[in-house]
């Protein structure tokens, strides 16, 4: 019962919208019949038919009939009108059915092939329905017999243009997870909307008196929208431009022939926009997929490496546990047992630390770019090492004076810097006391990039191992997983930077990152 009422209101809304669009686009009609330069209402009908199925045919028929009565004041006898409307609904439903079969899988216009199929179905389908309609009109003697070619061309182009220009717009508007609804709320959309309005004014206001020689200017806002927002942007811009053209035609009171030519131009305009949009979307999708698969690969390697690293504490935990059993069996309950249990606890902490690192990686998995100050980044990356430095007698210098701004994922870069600092601390651990220095500093590399250096007083890298350290599982440390540097390099390269290990007599890693905006503090 409830769904019936919902359906009833949906149908009512559809009929009202359909008739309203019909009324708004009923301009320059031929012979007072529904032969107009564009029929956007038809696009609405097709989209609703795709969305709600064949049952929309009934309200569609009612809407067509109401249009004839209310908008055109019933130009033909009632019976003829009913037959005509019925034939039209059957014809249009057949187009919708073909679309459903060939192009309505998943997203709206996801690739070039779908776009071209859609275009072909629309052009051929409207040609067929136009032929049917005009034949019926001829049979009913509503148009002069000699004018059938003109009538057919007008009717066909009107339907075709109406669909090409407005169907993508309605289609995306009715999508479940509409990309377009997000786009409509963006400032950029308002931007190209205003540009479109301005260009329309230039094309029709200034150049309107001539042969519309500035029409090509309308491509600018369209290309902007398509290049930035893909098909969704192209659909919005094409719809805006079309509405603008119709208003201009109405306002300038152009003759029907000129309006007809403008419609052809409008259709080509819309098609170009959609084609660019589809190509942009495809490119975008490929790049997202690539990044996703890279991330999965990195995560897989990371998980493998961490599993390996977990084996060490697990081995010692098991051995300590069995040693405890052995001690108890031997009647030992004093200091030795307590000491062994204490070591078990610290091994558990070590295992927990491995798990925490894995979680950190997955948490920082998605790149979230924000503007961050380089100085703050260095300070916050180094802060966990202050206590460690004191404990291990390492002289840690952090030069965080820089005021330059980076556009980066803070968590990820912190992971990289901590990883490098942790390596540096390990490298100086074997040095004699007083010889343990670690230095984190940054200096401008060029006007729009900066170089962060992590230096230590350890033995440094030789030529042989400098090449290998970035490979996975190439660790020189027992607790290291040999993956830190591989992951770090992947993160830095995802930021458009590079991570280099210098061959030197002391440890030196250079991290070059692009900065945001101009250089403030460099000479």
Partner 1 sequence: MQPSGYTIFMVEDDQSVRDALGLLLGLQGYPVVMFADAESFLKAYRQEWRGCLLIDIRMPGMDGLALQKRLLESGCRIPVIVMTGHGNVESAREAFLSQAVDFLEKPIDHAKLMRAIGEAFARQMDAENQENESTEFTQLLANLTPRETEVMELVVEGRHNREIAEALDISPRTVEVHKARMMMKLRVESVPDLVRLSLRRHNKNRT
Per-residue contact flags (x/-) with partner 1 for residues 351 to 390, judged by CB under 8 A: ----------------------------------------
Burial code of 435-447, b = ≥16 C-beta within 10 A, e = fewer?
ebbbbbbbebbee
User: Contact between 343 and partner 1 (CB under 8 A)?
Assistant: yes
The candidate with the shortest Cα–Cα distance to 252, out of 204, 203, 197, 202, is 204
User: Contact between 311 and partner 1 (CB under 8 A)?
Assistant: yes
Query: Contacting partner 1 (CB under 8 A), which of 340, 380, 431, 498?
Result: 340
Query: Contacting partner 1 (CB under 8 A), which of 59, 158, 313, 507?
Result: 313
Is-contact 212 200, C-beta < 8 A?
A: no
Query: Contacting partner 1 (CB under 8 A), which of 303, 322, 397, 522?
Result: 322
Query: Contacting partner 1 (CB under 8 A), which of 258, 367, 392, 475?
Result: 475
**Closest CB to partner 1 among 319 and 466?**
319
Cα–Cα distance measured from residue 38 to residue 247, given in angstroms and rounded to the nearest whole number: 13
Q: Which stretch binds partner 1 (CB under 8 A): 6-14, 41-49, 346-354, 504-512?
A: 346-354
User: Contact between 479 and partner 1 (CB under 8 A)?
Assistant: yes
Q: Which stretch binds partner 1 (CB under 8 A): 136-144, 159-167, 304-312, 356-364?
A: 304-312
Q: Which residues contact 460 (CB under 8 A, 6 or more apart)?
A: 503, 504, 505, 506, 507, 508
The nearest distance, CB 378 to partner 1, in angstroms, is 29
DSSP characters for 197-244? HHHHIIIIIISTTTT-TTGGGGHHHHHHHHHHHHHHHHHHHHHHHHHH
User: Contact between 312 and partner 1 (CB under 8 A)?
Assistant: yes
Query: Contacting partner 1 (CB under 8 A), which of 72, 350, 506, 510?
Result: 350
71 phi/psi in degrees, rounded to 5: -85, -40
DSSP characters for 432-481? PTT--EEEEEEEEEETTEEEEEEEESS--B-HHHHHHTTSTT--SSSS--
Query: Contacting partner 1 (CB under 8 A), which of 170, 224, 320, 385?
Result: 320
The nearest distance, CB 321 to partner 1, in angstroms, is 9
Cα–Cα distance measured from residue 79 to residue 258, given in angstroms and rounded to the nearest whole number: 34
The nearest distance, CB 182 to partner 1, in angstroms, is 46
Three-state DSSP state, 36: coil
Query: Contacting partner 1 (CB under 8 A), which of 10, 117, 178, 316?
Result: 316
User: Contact between 472 and partner 1 (CB under 8 A)?
Assistant: no
Query: Contacting partner 1 (CB under 8 A), which of 209, 253, 432, 478?
Result: 478
User: Contact between 292 and partner 1 (CB under 8 A)?
Assistant: no
The candidate with the shortest Cα–Cα distance to 140, out of 92, 76, 90, 85, is 76
Q: Using a CB cutoff of 8 Å and minimum separation of 24, what contacts does 299-303 make?
A: 299/361, 299/362, 299/365, 301/472, 301/483, 301/486, 301/487, 302/358, 302/361, 302/483, 302/487, 303/358
User: Contact between 128 and partner 1 (CB under 8 A)?
Assistant: no
**Closest CB to partner 1 among 318 and 446?**
318
**Closest CB to partner 1 among 23 and 473?**
473
Q: How many residues bind partner 1 (CB under 8 A)?
A: 28
The candidate with the shortest Cα–Cα distance to 221, out of 237, 200, 244, 201, is 237
Query: Contacting partner 1 (CB under 8 A), which of 318, 383, 435, 465?
Result: 318
Residues forming contacts to partner 1 in the complex (CB under 8 A) are: 308-309, 311-320, 322-323, 326-327, 330, 340, 343, 346-347, 350, 473, 475-479
């Amino acid at each position: 019962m409830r769904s019936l009422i919902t359906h009833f209101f949906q149908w009512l809304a559809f009929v009202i919208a359909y008739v309203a669009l019909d009324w708004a686009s009923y301009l320059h009609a031929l012979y007072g019949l529904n032969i107009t330069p564009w029929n956007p209402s038809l696009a609405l009908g097709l989209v609703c038919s795709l969305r709600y199925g064949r049952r929309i045919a009934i309200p569609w028929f009612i809407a067509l009939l109401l249009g004839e009565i209310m908008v055109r004041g019933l130009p033909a006898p009632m019976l003829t009108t009913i037959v005509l409307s019925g034939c039209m609904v059957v014809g249009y439903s057949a187009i919708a059915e073909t679309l459903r079969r060939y192009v309505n899988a998943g997203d709206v216009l996801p690739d070039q092939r779908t776009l071209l199929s859609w275009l072909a179905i629309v052009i051929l389908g409207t040609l067929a329905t136009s032929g049917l309609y005009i034949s019926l009109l001829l049979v009913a003697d509503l148009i002069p017999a000699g004018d059938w070619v003109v009538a057919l061309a007008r009717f066909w182009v009107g339907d075709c243009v109406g669909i090409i220009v407005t169907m993508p717009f309605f289609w995306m508007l009715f999508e479940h997870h509409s990309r377009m609804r997000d786009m409509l709320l963006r400032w950029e959309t308002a931007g190209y909307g205003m540009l479109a309005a301005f260009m329309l004014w230039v094309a029709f206001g200034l150049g309107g008196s001539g042969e519309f020689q500035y029409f090509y200017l309308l491509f600018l806002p369209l290309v902007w929208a398509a290049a930035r927002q893909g098909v969704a942007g192209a659909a919005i811009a094409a719809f805006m431009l079309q509405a603008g053209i119709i208003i201009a035609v109405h306002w300038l009171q152009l003759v029907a022939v000129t309006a007809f030519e403008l419609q052809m131009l409008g259709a080509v305009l819309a098609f170009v926009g959609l084609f660019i949009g589809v190509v942009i979307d495809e490119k975008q999708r490929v790049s997202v997929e690539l990044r996703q698969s890279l991330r999965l690969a990195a995560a897989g390697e990371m998980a493998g490496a961490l599993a390996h690293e977990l084996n060490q504490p697990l081995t010692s935990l098991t051995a300590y546990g069995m040693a405890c059993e052995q001690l108890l069996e031997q009647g030992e309950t004093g200091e030795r047992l307590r000491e062994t249990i204490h070591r078990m606890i610290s091994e558990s902490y070590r295992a927990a630390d491995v798990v925490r690192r894995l979680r950190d990686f997955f948490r920082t998995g998605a790149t979230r770019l924000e503007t961050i100050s380089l100085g703050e980044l260095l300070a916050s990356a180094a802060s966990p090492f202050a206590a460690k430095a004191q404990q291990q007698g390492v002289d840690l210098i952090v030069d965080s004076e820089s005021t330059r701004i980076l556009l980066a994922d803070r968590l990820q870069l912190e992971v990289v810097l901590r990883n490098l600092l942790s390596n540096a601390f390990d490298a100086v651990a074997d040095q004699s006391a007083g010889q343990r220095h670690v230095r984190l500093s940054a200096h401008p590399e060029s006007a729009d990039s900066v170089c962060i250096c992590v230096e230590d007083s350890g033995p440094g890298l030789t030529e042989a191992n400098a090449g290998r350290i970035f490979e996975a599982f190439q660790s020189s440390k027992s607790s290291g997983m040999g993956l830190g540097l591989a992951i770090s390099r992947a993160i830095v390269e995802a930021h458009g930077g590079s991570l280099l290990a210098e061959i030197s007599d002391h440890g030196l890693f250079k991290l070059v990152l692009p900065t945001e905006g101009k250089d403030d503090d460099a000479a």
